[in-house]
């Protein structure tokens, strides 16, 4: 299993893109990473969540586990959560959804779009042309529509999404959702009880307290 330094984290920092699209500047790459990160930079633990917006198990995690994870660990400063795009080939609308979320991230609207995409997954996952519905979600997220359209048309975030996915694969992830927590891989939409066990043990070792 590859480590984060050669997988996910490296992909987030490098911002490698497809040759057909311009490479994001270092400043933009940093902004995009910050826009999809929740929690304090000084948190004891960083959780990299590799997720697919069209994945039903990812939606289940967001619905059933994420609220408690954020309340107990992220909001309290004990853990930091970083979202990593890992759209699977079996989901035809997953890449467009990821690009939409990253275009929203350029306007600091990533998490609003994240929540809307998962909440409305059943309404867009089978659409042959989800663009109109996606723009409506952008409106609901409070994103500037003209900027969103331009970002999507330019393909500016296509390489960022590809970089995320390649980094996830290099790090050993094969399914969604998957989570890297201090180098350990947690697979599936696990209940909060499992995350408590993993996180509490790491925090106890790193800080000497639970």
Q: What is the pTM of this model?
A: 0.86
Residue 195 has a CB neighbour count (10 Å cut-off) of 21
CATH of the domain at 48: 3.40.30.10
Q: What's the chain's average pLDDT?
A: 89
pLDDT in the model for residue 71: 98
**How many structural domains does the chain have?**
1
Provide, rounded to the nearest whole percent, the portion of the chain with pLDDT above 70: 85
- Residues 181-190: what's their mean pLDDT? 94
> Residue 73's CB: how many other CB atoms inside 10 A?
24
Query: Residue 41 CB: number of other CB atoms within 10 A?
Result: 8
Average pLDDT value for residue range 22-43: 78
122 CB burial (10 A radius; 0-12, 13-18, 19+):
exposed
Q: What is the pLDDT of residue 8?
A: 55
Q: What percent of the chain has pLDDT over 90?
A: 80
Average pLDDT for 191-209: 93
Once rounded to an integer, what is the mean pLDDT over residues 113-135? Answer: 98
Q: What is the pLDDT of residue 209?
A: 65
Domain that holds residue 42: 4-207
For the stretch 71-120, pLDDT in tens is 999 999 999 999 999 999 999 999 999 999 999 999 999 999 999 999 99
**In sequence order, what are the beta bridge partners of 81?**
38, 47
Could you tell me the two tokens for 65? Answer: 């586990």
Does residue 175 surpass a pLDDT of 50? yes
The pLDDT, as a whole number, for residue 26 is: 53
Alpha-helix residue ranges (DSSP H) falling in 15-71: 26-35, 56-64, 66-69
CB within 8 Å of 103: residues ≥ 6 apart: 143, 147, 148, 151, 152, 156, 157
């Amino acid at each position: 299993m590859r480590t984060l330094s050669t997988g996910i984290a490296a992909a987030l920092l490098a911002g490698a893109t497809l040759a057909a699209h311009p490479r994001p500047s270092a400043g933009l790459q940093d902004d995009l990473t910050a826009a999809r990160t929740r929690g304090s930079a000084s948190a004891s633990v960083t959780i990299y969540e590799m997720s697919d917006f069209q994945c039903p198990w990812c939606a289940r995690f967001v619905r059933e586990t994420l609220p408690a994870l954020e309340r107990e660990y992220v909001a309290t400063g004990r853990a930091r959560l970083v979202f990593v795009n890992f759209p699977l080939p079996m989901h035809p609308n997953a890449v467009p959804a990821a690009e939409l979320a990253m275009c929203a991230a350029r306007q600091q609207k990533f998490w609003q779009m994240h929540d809307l995409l998962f909440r409305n997954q059943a309404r867009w996952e089978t659409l042959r042309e989800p663009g109109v519905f996606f723009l409506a979600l952008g409106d609901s997220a409070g994103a500037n529509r003209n900027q969103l359209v331009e970002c999507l048309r330019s393909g500016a975030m296509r390489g960022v999404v590809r970089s995320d996915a390649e980094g996830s694969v290099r790090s050993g992830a094969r399914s969604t959702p998957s989570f890297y927590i201090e180098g350990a891989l947690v697979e599936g939409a696990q209940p909060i009880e499992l995350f408590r066990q993993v996180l509490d043990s790491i925090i106890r070792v790193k800080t000497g307290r639970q």
